[in-house]
Structure 1
Amino acid sequence: MQFVRKALSLRWEFIPVFVFSSIACFVFLSGLAGQLFTGSLVILIAGLLLYGWLLILRLRQGASLRLSFSIFQFSFLAGTFVFLLVLFQNQLTHYDNFSHWAIVLKQMLSTDAFPTPDSNLIDFKNYPLGTSSFIYYVCRFMGHSQSVMLLAQGLLIFSCFYAMFGIVSEKKRFLLYAFLGLGLSTLSFFNLTIRITNLLVDFLLPIYALAILAVIYQYRNEIKKACIIVLPLAGLLTIIKSTGIIFAAIGLIFLVYSWLKHKQKFSWKTALAVVGTICGALIPYFGWSWRMATVFQGIDNKFDVATSGIQAGKTPEQMREILWTFLKASTDLTTRPVIGIVIFQLIAIAASVFAIVVLKKKWNLWKALIALDVVLLLYYAGILALYLFSMPLDEAIVLAGFERYASSIVVLFAGGLVLCAAIDLERSFHYRIGEVPDYQSFKTVKTKGHYQKGIIGCMAVAATILLSEYNGIVSIAQSYDTTLPYKIHAVTGDRWYPGGQVDNNRYLFYASDRDQQVTNYYMQYVGKYFLYAPHVDGIVLFYEDNMDNLLSGYDYLVVVETDLNAKWLLKKHYGIDMQEGIYKITRSGDQIVLTLT
């Protein structure tokens, strides 16, 4: 970060996300080349050497080490530290962590390579590995515990929020930071479904796009510098998730728009910089597409239109049912995404009218509202197409994942309006900073009073919202010992094998089907993760006539939860007192023997 600051003279707000994204892209491309660990080691050594060089340079110049923070920087860093600290105390619980994100990361850390077609642990191999590459880099040198994984993803999340504050030009106007803090804190409302206590990437997509918008606006008159920063951000965004290309496109279109709008005269260098940025940002995306087309050739993947959508052959009646269900969900005023859209629409319209009628100012908020409404409609159309033509019927009928997909675009919609409102607010002050002495930079004493009350009000509401988010994360951490992953971990431990070898033993898990934890395959996925074993099945009930036949097909019985009926059957047939633990299954003649390990 210090080297980037010295070499490129960037604003501090954009440096963390630029550095993190550059690291992630380099590690990802190294993984595509089959050199995942080597690429990570190169990054680490290069960083240490650059830091050493800058330190020696500073000592030779006789410069003293001086740390200075503005009120905003201190507030943001303090808040980030608090959240990262509590995040470090959390463990993974969300279903999708164990069905994909965490198990992929565990395999990368175990093998120092991207998954291959032979990776039986992973069901959905076409999910891009952008954030996984960055988390791998952090965990490779910091440790592979779940809390370190969450800490690594937390760094990406908070670096994006820090970058959004870079949109402010008048740094002495603390009201702008307080207003942004209020507006951006409300975005957590749309992330309650998954929060930040997991490795899911649905929240990263929109906040990365918002960070790109902030960078482009701040450097709208220095497009080449904007291109340098946007390149790794957009590149990583394309490989965060398959839908990341949509969010990257939004940022790149704004880059082209800003270049065409603010250019003074045509410059081939600037034009090449813009075109080069667009092409360069697509390299990771096409690199991953190439890997899917070659390494995974012939392998069916989830949401592959050619295999899952067209061949599934949804009937017209089924298509109409999906369409009707989608329209109801998209207009249901009791759902979080629809509430967000309606509230921010009304606030933006009211603010635009207030600016014209009361402040006598021409704000651009209404223009941003129109543009974001277009993006919103196109995105919803894309989600509908996903359900109609790509997603398997059993998931499409119930709109699987709809709230998460919708919340992602609503975060972008709301965040875009907040950023634009902050810009309009900055342009509405009677005096610009520097035009008059700071103590005279208000039109009247009355307006200064409004300014101070505005800061207090924004900070109070923002603190309340963030405190609610903090309490939610703390509550999740405190209730971990009641979750299924905790119970399974208590029995199996978290197994990591040298050389990436896989446990090929066959495991049968036994537990109740509370919250459909067995029938929806949640327990089996969690078991796969902790055991690092691909052959894991689950059962909720023993049938006495079939017990020997069932158990003979497995090497181990893993009891996660017990019940009276199962205890009686195991005592009767195998002479054991059933308790939570792992039982080795062996055969002695015609008799099945269970031995607690």
Structure 2
Amino acid sequence: MKLMSWILVWAIIGGYAKFFRVHLKMDRRLVWIFTISSLTLLLYLASLFQFLLVAVWGISIVGSLLALYYIVGNVTKRDPLQRLDAVAIGMLLTLLLFAVTLWQSPLLHYDNFTHWATIVKFLNINNALPTQADAIIGYYTYPVGSSIFNYYVTVLVGFSDGSMLIAQLLLIFSSLYGMFATLKDSNRLLMSIMIFASFALFNYFNIAIRLNNLLVDYLLAAITLAVFSGFVAYKDRLIQLSLNTFALLGLLSIIKTSGLFFVALGLLVYVILSISILFKKSFSLRNIFLISTTIFLSALPYGLWQWHVEANFTNSQEAKHAISSSDLNLALSGKLTGTAKEILDHFLLSSFSLNSLASRGIILINVILLLSFIIIGILHKRPKILLLTWLGVDAVLIVYYIGILLMYLVAMPTDEAIVLAGFERYASTIVIILLGVSLIVLVREMDSCLYEQNPLRRNVRSYRSLLTKRLYQHSSLALLFFTVSLFLSENNGVLYNNKIEASNISQQIKSLVGDRREKSEERILVISADKENVDSYFTQYAARYYLWNTHVDAREDLMLSSQEFEKLLKEYDQVLVLDNHYTFNALTKQLYSKIYPPGLYQISDFPMVYSK
């Protein structure tokens, strides 16, 4: 039954994708993320005006009819089915590999429970955006872009950890698939494998959070790369360029506020490309209107979100991670407090530390561009594009790091900013983007250095010599082996994490109480001997998520007298015992002559509370 539901999801998206390819002439590699982005924006618009569930079924019905129409066309030979090439087969097999693993994967990362899984669960239960009264959503100023698509998938296939993770995987892989649209000749095996290899490297730099979570740092990078792939694929087609840009940037703007940096960067490149197209064609009012409309539509989704937050949340200015204009002015003027100086010192230390994965990634990018410039730029006399890429990559990197620093100084709680919370995640996003852009440029420049420049005339003899042919073949096989090995390693890493995290605090809670969907107002005390997770609030957030209850407290310190212990219990309606807490067991043994094994108990199960 679940398999049929997933086939339905694939058919719906495929129906729209085929329609966009036929009628809008969208590139076959980029059409998947364009389709998902467009549908997500429609769902997002419907959510703002409280028609979310209606939009879900409307989109599903139309998509199913489109899929049926094209399937009939394939059967009757009216519209022959396009055969899958090696690139499509490779991406599909890789997608299936990770999908099978993620279907069985639990949610483990802290931030899933503070927001990313919580908002999807809320949408799935209520089919509406949260309001001021919905305290279960703490980060209500966070846009809901990717969460809307994840919600859509869970409506069709059922809500579970696995369905949310695979929905996120579809977003990521459809974005990465778009990178193949930048190839000058997709039949050249080495160039295609280099793009595949970049995905494997992305997983390495995404090791801090991996694929088995709903955090969006990797997703931001993937969609940004799809935007830049569109710049290459549609560089001479203004209409398709504009459609792809506003759909992808519009989605990017409502995934996370930090994505606005990439939206601004994308719009800058789009304007430059559009002007170059106008010079080649004409500065007609129609084209100028199209460009202006694209810029407006790219920013509109985020503007609508700001309107929604201000209209529905009276304390939006006090939200966590909200930017303080006064702190920003102080930071920009260079007037730093003692705490700000401490944050700056930690930031500089982390940014230039070779122990940082992001720092090693930055070095790798510059080494790749340096070698490319020497071999292709100097020896093959094609320095211009590689040099501009190199300069542009480092310029964007510097501006992005300045932006991260300002975020720590003016928008993040001090206790988190001092320890640079999430630094590796934020830095990995730009490393993945710049690595991807660098490899796109490198692959295209390598293609320009091939012996036969006409793709239609290339065959097994299209080499300068037998030596270069063997070098090409051996390099392709070696790189393919390297890529497959890294993909299998990443998949095994997720499986290993699932295995060793079987006793993760969130999984303990889930095994005891399940995954509840009914909102509860009962006051619940969670008892756990895991001091680290209690102190970090991970236990509390995970319990709130699975119990679907905001009135949850977690406690490890029970060095209390009998009277203090009873007084504590009287403040709650239920007690959730997660493990064999020594002090808790000693108190219950003394007071009630029994030990309470892990489980959820009513306060009435502690008789002395009521007898005194």
Q: Give the TM-score normalised by structure 1.
A: 0.94
Does residue 536 of the first structure (1) align with residue 549 of the second (2)?
no
Structure 2 residue aligned with 1:287: 304
Structure 1 residue aligned with 2:94: 79
Equivalent residues in 2 for 1:350-361, closer than 5 Å: 350-361=371-382
Does residue 165 of the first structure (1) align with residue 183 of the second (2)?
no
Larger fraction in helix: 2
Do the aligned partners of residues 310 and 570 (structure 1) sit closer, same or farther apart at CA in structure 2, a change above 3 Å counting?
Answer: farther
1:479 pairs, out of 496, 500, 518, with 500
Does residue 18 of the first structure (1) align with residue 34 of the second (2)?
yes
Structure 2 residue aligned with 1:278: 295
Structure 2 residue aligned with 1:468: 489
Query: Please, what is the CA RMSD of the aligned residues?
Result: 2.2
Deviation at 1:407, TM superposition (A): 1.1
2:147 pairs, out of 132, 135, 150, with 132
Structure 1 residue aligned with 2:522: 505
Matched residue pairs, number? 588
- What is the distance in 1 between the residues matched to 2:187 and 2:557? 66
Contiguous gaps of at least 5 residues in structure 2:
1-16
Structure 2 residue aligned with 1:29: 45
- What is the distance in 2 between the residues matched to 1:518 and 1:593? 31
- Native 8 Å contact 1:150 1:197 kept in 2: yes
2:556 aligned partner, one-letter code: V
SS of residue matched to 2:235: coil
1:32 aligned partner, one-letter code: L
SS of residue matched to 2:502: helix
Deviation at 1:216, TM superposition (A): 1.3
1:411 aligned partner, one-letter code: I
Do the aligned partners of residues 58 and 178 (structure 1) sit closer, same or farther apart at CA in structure 2, a change above 3 Å counting?
Answer: closer
- What is the distance in 2 between the residues matched to 1:235 and 1:593? 61
- What is the distance in 2 between the residues matched to 1:395 and 1:444? 59
Does residue 457 of the first structure (1) align with residue 471 of the second (2)?
no
2:321 aligned partner, one-letter code: F
Structure 1 residue aligned with 2:137: 122
Contiguous gaps of at least 5 residues in structure 1:
none
Do the aligned partners of residues 112 and 336 (structure 1) sit closer, same or farther apart at CA in structure 2, a change above 3 Å counting?
Answer: same
SS of residue matched to 1:383: helix
2:223 pairs, out of 183, 208, 216, with 208
2:398 aligned partner, one-letter code: L
Do the aligned partners of residues 541 and 589 (structure 1) sit closer, same or farther apart at CA in structure 2, a change above 3 Å counting?
Answer: closer
Q: Deviations over 1:94-120 (max 9, x none)?
A: 000001111111111111100111111
Deviation at 1:306, TM superposition (A): 3.3
Does residue 517 of the first structure (1) align with residue 517 of the second (2)?
no
Deviation at 1:164, TM superposition (A): 0.8
- What is the distance in 1 between the residues matched to 2:143 and 2:59? 21
2:603 aligned partner, one-letter code: I
Do the aligned partners of residues 436 and 79 (structure 1) sit closer, same or farther apart at CA in structure 2, a change above 3 Å counting?
Answer: same
1:272 aligned partner, one-letter code: F
2:345 pairs, out of 324, 328, 338, with 324
Do the aligned partners of residues 308 and 560 (structure 1) sit closer, same or farther apart at CA in structure 2, a change above 3 Å counting?
Answer: farther
SS of residue matched to 1:583: strand
2:567 pairs, out of 549, 553, 565, with 549
- What is the distance in 1 between the residues matched to 2:456 and 2:583? 82
Deviation at 1:126, TM superposition (A): 0.7
- Native 8 Å contact 1:574 1:592 kept in 2: no
Structure 2 residue aligned with 1:246: 261
- What is the distance in 2 between the residues matched to 1:590 and 1:172? 77
Structure 1 residue aligned with 2:3: none
Range that drifts further, 65-74 or 152-161: 65-74
Range that drifts further, 259-268 or 135-144: 259-268
Structure 2 residue aligned with 1:410: 431
2:469 pairs, out of 442, 448, 460, with 448
- What is the distance in 2 between the residues matched to 1:65 and 1:57? 7
Q: Deviations over 1:166-193 (max 9, x none)?
A: 1112122111101111233211121111
Deviation at 1:374, TM superposition (A): 1.0
- Native 8 Å contact 2:180 2:186 kept in 1: no
Q: Give the TM-score normalised by structure 2.
A: 0.92
- Native 8 Å contact 1:150 1:199 kept in 2: yes
Does residue 333 of the first structure (1) align with residue 354 of the second (2)?
yes
Do the aligned partners of residues 590 and 574 (structure 1) sit closer, same or farther apart at CA in structure 2, a change above 3 Å counting?
Answer: closer
1:511 aligned partner, one-letter code: S
Do the aligned partners of residues 593 and 75 (structure 1) sit closer, same or farther apart at CA in structure 2, a change above 3 Å counting?
Answer: farther
Does residue 197 of the first structure (1) align with residue 215 of the second (2)?
no
Deviation at 1:307, TM superposition (A): 8.4
Deviation at 1:253, TM superposition (A): 1.6
Does residue 419 of the first structure (1) align with residue 440 of the second (2)?
yes
- Native 8 Å contact 2:376 2:446 kept in 1: no
2:591 aligned partner, one-letter code: H
Equivalent residues in 2 for 1:550-565, closer than 5 Å: 550-565=568-583
1:204 aligned partner, one-letter code: L
Do the aligned partners of residues 358 and 593 (structure 1) sit closer, same or farther apart at CA in structure 2, a change above 3 Å counting?
Answer: farther
1:232 pairs, out of 247, 258, 267, with 247
- What is the distance in 2 between the residues matched to 1:435 and 1:57? 29
- What is the distance in 2 between the residues matched to 1:577 and 1:312? 56
Structure 1 residue aligned with 2:13: none
Do the aligned partners of residues 308 and 525 (structure 1) sit closer, same or farther apart at CA in structure 2, a change above 3 Å counting?
Answer: farther
Do the aligned partners of residues 130 and 434 (structure 1) sit closer, same or farther apart at CA in structure 2, a change above 3 Å counting?
Answer: closer
2:315 pairs, out of 298, 306, 331, with 298
- Any runs of at least 4 consecutive aligned residues in structure 1 with deviations exceeding 6 A, and if so which? 310-315, 587-590
- What is the distance in 2 between the residues matched to 1:589 and 1:178? 68
Range that drifts further, 428-437 or 275-284: 428-437
Do the aligned partners of residues 443 and 162 (structure 1) sit closer, same or farther apart at CA in structure 2, a change above 3 Å counting?
Answer: same
- What is the distance in 2 between the residues matched to 1:423 and 1:526? 47
- Native 8 Å contact 2:569 2:609 kept in 1: no
Structure 2 residue aligned with 1:577: 595
SS of residue matched to 2:45: helix
- What is the distance in 1 between the residues matched to 2:147 and 2:326? 26
Deviation at 1:261, TM superposition (A): 2.9
Deviation at 1:64, TM superposition (A): 7.6
Do the aligned partners of residues 482 and 437 (structure 1) sit closer, same or farther apart at CA in structure 2, a change above 3 Å counting?
Answer: closer
- Native 8 Å contact 2:46 2:55 kept in 1: yes
Deviation at 1:564, TM superposition (A): 3.1
Range that drifts further, 333-342 or 446-455: 446-455
1:404 aligned partner, one-letter code: R
Do the aligned partners of residues 370 and 312 (structure 1) sit closer, same or farther apart at CA in structure 2, a change above 3 Å counting?
Answer: closer
- What is the distance in 1 between the residues matched to 2:273 and 2:165? 35
2:238 pairs, out of 223, 227, 232, with 223
Deviation at 1:580, TM superposition (A): 0.4
Do the aligned partners of residues 100 and 63 (structure 1) sit closer, same or farther apart at CA in structure 2, a change above 3 Å counting?
Answer: same
Range that drifts further, 157-166 or 428-437: 428-437
Does residue 7 of the first structure (1) align with residue 12 of the second (2)?
no
Deviation at 1:577, TM superposition (A): 2.3
Q: Deviations over 1:255-296 (max 9, x none)?
A: 122222344132323322222111111111000011111111
- Native 8 Å contact 2:591 2:608 kept in 1: no
Q: Deviations over 1:357-411 (max 9, x none)?
A: 4334446222111111111111111111111222222121111111111111111
Q: Deviations over 1:424-482 (max 9, x none)?
A: 11211121234635244222222222221221122122122222211111112223422
- What is the distance in 1 between the residues matched to 2:208 and 2:462? 44
Deviation at 1:220, TM superposition (A): 0.3
Range that drifts further, 322-331 or 475-484: 475-484
SS of residue matched to 2:216: coil
Deviation at 1:62, TM superposition (A): 4.2
SS of residue matched to 2:104: coil
